[in-house]
Structure formats: structure tokens, C-alpha cells
Amino acid sequence: MRFSELNKAVFAFLLRFTGLPLFIRNIYAKQKVTIILYHNPTVKVLDSHLKYLLKRYHFISLDILVNAIHTKNWSSIPPKAIVMTIDDGHTRNYELLRVFKKYNIKPTIYVCTQVVNTNRYYWWRLKGLNPNPLKELSNDEKLKYLSEEYQYTPVKQYSYKTRQALSLEEMNEMKCYVDLQSHSRFHPMLTNCSDEESALEISKSKTELETLLDLRCNHFSFPNGDYSERELSFVKNAGYLSSRTTDLGWNDINTDPYKLKAMGITDDASINLLSVQVCGIPAYLKGVFKGNFTGKWITYLI
């Protein structure tokens, strides 16, 4: 374990047993809804997380939350309600199906519609790539760099053996137990796209997913959590009922359904770290240390 990881473990342990997570969960956030966000956890980790969370929260679906906000009727929301979301549609998400069935919960997995059901790669998972500097580039500049340095294009197909995203067969098996929704087509930073690119990523991913899986796509998740008023208008115009951000916080009857807030959970988090991340404490403190008091979740990419 690296020194920084040891510090993180000690910090999480101390925070957990200050009683602050207990106070937040049972007092401050009791009548609010927590949305948690994963990306690519293992079965073992998620199983341990759910054992912890199910003793402290009541899981509900994203549909229940969004309907309660739109109708201004909170009667269907139990105390300490929680919604699980997972971004991207990584192939390992399929293995989690047994955990969802075991604990009888229905998460929302937001998928990239032009990466799932293909042998394409998620651009930020290219071997040897540090994706963070590319977040500052326009989408055209990013793709030009990836093409020149990694011979990558968004539609390039790789070996099936190294497939990174869910297959059609896997999603069809999952869709009775998992709410599959949109996370754009190719996962660009939408705010770095042109008007046309951004609108297309948002609207076409909805119709593509509905055609592919014969389901209703009502919810959108902003890639990397990046959005502006422009993206919000595109989401509404496309006919979505909600969009989830990575803004830190809880959701209540007055939350804008197109600015749903979330708590980021590290995919390999220990139970101590999970206990404080689900309350937003590390993310808030990290933001404060960086001079950010807006509640934007600052963590690793994607």
C-alpha cells in the first residue's frame, strides 16, 4: 500500500467513527434521496458495499425518484432512500447482475450507445494514455491528438477478446433487472463540442438505445459530469425526463430533475471509505481544499 493510500485509509477510518456520517444519514439527509455513482466495480466489492448500504438505506429506482420530483409527491420516497447508478456500460458490469438479483435492487446503468454492442474502445482507456489533459481540449482537438498519437478513432474496432463494453446479448439479459439509460454516444466532454455535436450526442443516443433494446430511454447522464445551460436545453428538447450530474449533494422534492446530484463512490472503496463517500464528506473536503465551494464532485475522470 502506498503512503498516500495508507493516509486515505486512516482518514476514512477516523471520519467514519467521528459519528458525522451517522448524523448526516439519520438527521440531515433522512428525508432526501442519495444517488450513488459507480463505474466499474467488481462483484466482490459491490457485494460488500450492498451488505453495508442495505442495513442503512432503502434502495429505490431512479424512476421512482424522478416521478416524485415531477409530480411533487414525496409519499413514495422512504426515509434514507438511495439510488444506485453506474456510468459507461463496461463489460464487467454484466457480472454484477448476480449481485443485483441477490439483493433485489434495480440500478440504472447509463451506457454509451456507440460503444456498447461493439468492439470499440472507450477513448480514455487507451493503454498509456493520461486522459486528464485532454479534458481541456475541444472535441476536434482531442480526436486529432488521439488519432496522431494512438491511431485511435471513435469507430475503430478492436479484438473481441479485449472488448470493453457490454454486448447486446448481455444487455438484453440484464434489462429486466437493470434500468439501461443514456450516457451519450461516444462519451465526449459535451461542453467541448460544437452545438451540433452536443445536440446529436444527447438526442441520438436516446433513439439509438430505444431501437437497440426496445425500451423507453428517459434518463441521461452527462459524460464526466460536464454540462452547461446549452446541454440542459438539449436534454429537455430530446424528451428526457431527467439528467444526472456529478454535482455533490442530495435530492429532494425541489431538486431540478435535470440537475440530479450524486455521490461518487470509488470502485474499489473499503467499507470505511464507502461510509464517508456516500455522505459526500471526502468529495466536499477535496473541493474546499481546491477552492471549490460549489459542490462539484472532483474525482477521477469519467
Number of neighbouring beta carbons within 10 Å of residue 235: 24
Q: How far apart are CA 261 and CA 242, in angstroms?
A: 11
Instruction: Give the pLDDT score at 301.
Output: 37
47 phi and psi angles, rounded to 5 deg: -60, -45
Which amino acid belongs to residue 69? I
Instruction: Give the pLDDT score at 284.
Output: 83
Residue-by-residue DSSP string for 186-244: S---GGGS-HHHHHHHHHHHHHHHHHHHTS---EEE-GGG---HHHHHHHHHHT-SEEE
Task: Give the HSE-up count for residue 226: Cα atoms under 13 Å, Cβ half-sphere.
Answer: 16
Produce one character per residue of 261-291: b if its CB has 16 or more CB atoms within 10 Å, e if not: bbbbbbbebbebbbbbbbbbbbbbeebeeee
Residue 273's nearest CA partner among 16, 39, 7, 22 is: 16
Which amino acid belongs to residue 39? H
Tens of pLDDT along the chain (302 residues) come to 454 777 788 888 888 889 999 999 999 999 999 999 999 999 999 999 999 999 999 999 999 999 999 999 999 999 999 999 999 999 999 999 999 999 999 999 999 999 999 999 999 999 999 999 999 999 999 999 999 999 999 999 999 999 999 999 999 999 999 999 999 999 999 999 999 999 999 999 999 999 999 999 999 999 999 999 999 999 999 999 999 999 999 999 999 999 999 999 999 999 999 999 999 988 888 777 776 655 554 444 34
> What value does the CA radius of gyration of the chain take, rounded to a whole number of Å?
19
Positive/negative CA dihedral, 267, 191, 232, 237: negative
Instruction: Give the pLDDT score at 5.
Output: 75
Instruction: Give the pLDDT score at 3.
Output: 47
pTM (2 d.p.): 0.94
Q: Are 300 and 277 in contact (CB under 8 A)?
A: no
Q: Are 190 and 139 in contact (CB under 8 A)?
A: no
Positive/negative CA dihedral, 170, 160, 222, 229: negative
3-class DSSP state for residue 28? helix
Ordered by where they begin, the domains of the chain are 3-289 (3.20.20.370)
Produce one character per residue of 5-38: b if its CB has 16 or more CB atoms within 10 Å, e if not: eeebeebbeebbeeeebeebbeeebeebbbbbbb
Q: Are 22 and 243 in contact (CB under 8 A)?
A: no
Residue 89 falls in which region: left (phi positive, over 0), alpha (psi -120 to 50) or beta: left
